[in-house]
Amino acid sequence: MKKRMLSFKYAGRGVWWACSEPNFRIHLAAASAAVFLGFWLGLSAMEWCAVLLCFSAVMSAEALNSAVEKLTDLVSPGHHVLAGKAKDLAAGAVLISAVMAAVVGCIIFLPKLAARL
């Protein structure tokens, strides 16, 4: 049981560290705006599921990107082509998830916003 509790402690610490990253904060602000907009526009349960899945995917990708960057800096403090590729791939994963989240956001939010205006 103690081991399980420690794993939650370490996971919480990881989330705390992620929140200290500037790019994670940007995604967190976007997610907060989406939640506010979702309440204001009255999203359906399925729309909420899509929005929550999208921003959790983006923030998870950003946290993993930060982990890859930190680990890469540890094992390869100097410039190395493979280290650069690892960082670029991790950043690319964030970009893919963020762009797709924006597309889903447009599909869900734009018609509702247009109807309000």
CATH of the domain at 16: 1.10.287.3610
- pLDDT (tens, 9 = 90+) of the chain, 117 residues, equals 888 889 999 999 999 999 999 999 999 999 999 999 999 999 999 999 999 999 999 999 999 999 999 999 999 988 899 999 999 999 999 999 999 999 999 999 999 999 988
DSSP string, the chain: -HHHHHHHHHHHHHHHHHHTSHHHHHHHHHHHHHHHHHHHHT--HHHHHHHHHHHHHHHHHHHHHHHHHHHHHHH--S--HHHHHHHHHHHHHHHHHHHHHHHHHHHHHHHHHHHH-
pTM above 0.85, yes or no: yes
How many domains are there within the chain?
Answer: 1
Which active-site residues does the annotation give? 62
Residue with tokens 């349960």: 45
CB atoms within 10 A of CB 24: 20
Segments forming the whole domain that contains residue 14: 2-116
**pLDDT given for residue 77 in this prediction:** 87
